[in-house]
Amino acid sequence: MTFLFDSFQSAILLVISLDREIISIVSVSLKLSSTSTLIASLVGIPLGFYIAFESFPGKRMTITCLNTLLALPTVVIGLFVYSLIARKGFLGSLDLLYTQKAIIIGQTILIVPLVTTLIIAAISRIDERYRKTAMTLGANRFQTALVIFREARFGIVAAVIAAYGRVISEIGISMMLGGNARGFTRTITTAMALEYDKGQFTLAVALGIILLGISFGINLLFHFFQGRTRI
């Protein structure tokens, strides 16, 4: 108990002192998570919108596949992307392995299904009368889609926030594709795993506190936007 208390106390002091190592790790984590969330949103929002808005053969099967992909373990994605970007892989010549780009690719694959399914859910909840009203007032398909987008805006923001929360806390992809290189691909979660291996709990606990703080902030935002959708 004393050990935990001492680690926690030292970790708090480390966070307050704005340790350079911590700042570097947190910066890398935030940068990678933000980039992969941005790319996944650029793919997932239009895709989710299209699936929810349009009728096409195989729509139900597509949604089922997306829901299945939600349960995809990060190590499976790590392994899959590794097989593509390793020297002998299909994209080996691009020399992506153990770079930030590799982590971003893996994380994007992880959260595209999440963003897409949450967007489908957000759009599907929107009252059909909005579409009908826009159409009868003379809106074309694009203008009608914009109306739906506007009405679903809080659900869309909530989807992006949920995706961000998922990537910032993942470890499998970052470890397998990033290699945990100090100051370059070391993220909060990979650094915590390393410090744990070394038996250095102070930094691990400090990073844990920061990660919890970020997750708490994200969840606060998520609940704020989720609440707004019900208004």
Partner 1 sequence: MLYSINGLTKTYHNRTVLDIPSLHIERGGIHALLGPNGAGKTTLLNILGFLESPSTGDIVYESKVVQFYESYLQDLRKTVVLIDQQPILFSTSVYKNVEFGLKVRKIPKKDRPGIVKEALDLVGMEQFLNAPANTLSSGETQRVAIAQALAVLPNVLLCDEPTSSVDIENQVKILNILKQINKDKKITVIFTTHDRFQAAFLAQHTLFLDHGQLTTAGYENRYTAFLTQKDNQQIHCRIQDSIDLLIPLHQIGSNTGKAQVMIDPEKVSLCHRDDISMNSACWEGRVVQITDEKDNIRIIIDLGVWISMVMLRSTYQKSYLLVGERVYIQIPPSSIRIV
Chain residues that interact with partner 1, rule: CB under 8 A:
127, 129-130, 132-141, 143, 147, 150-151, 231
Nearer to partner 1, 6 or 127 (CB): 127
Nearer to partner 1, 141 or 223 (CB): 141
Least gap, CB of 95 to partner 1 (angstroms) = 47
Nearer to partner 1, 135 or 221 (CB): 135
Least gap, CB of 226 to partner 1 (angstroms) = 16
Least gap, CB of 128 to partner 1 (angstroms) = 9
Least gap, CB of 20 to partner 1 (angstroms) = 47
Nearer to partner 1, 126 or 211 (CB): 126
Q: Are 109 and 216 in contact (CB under 8 A)?
A: no
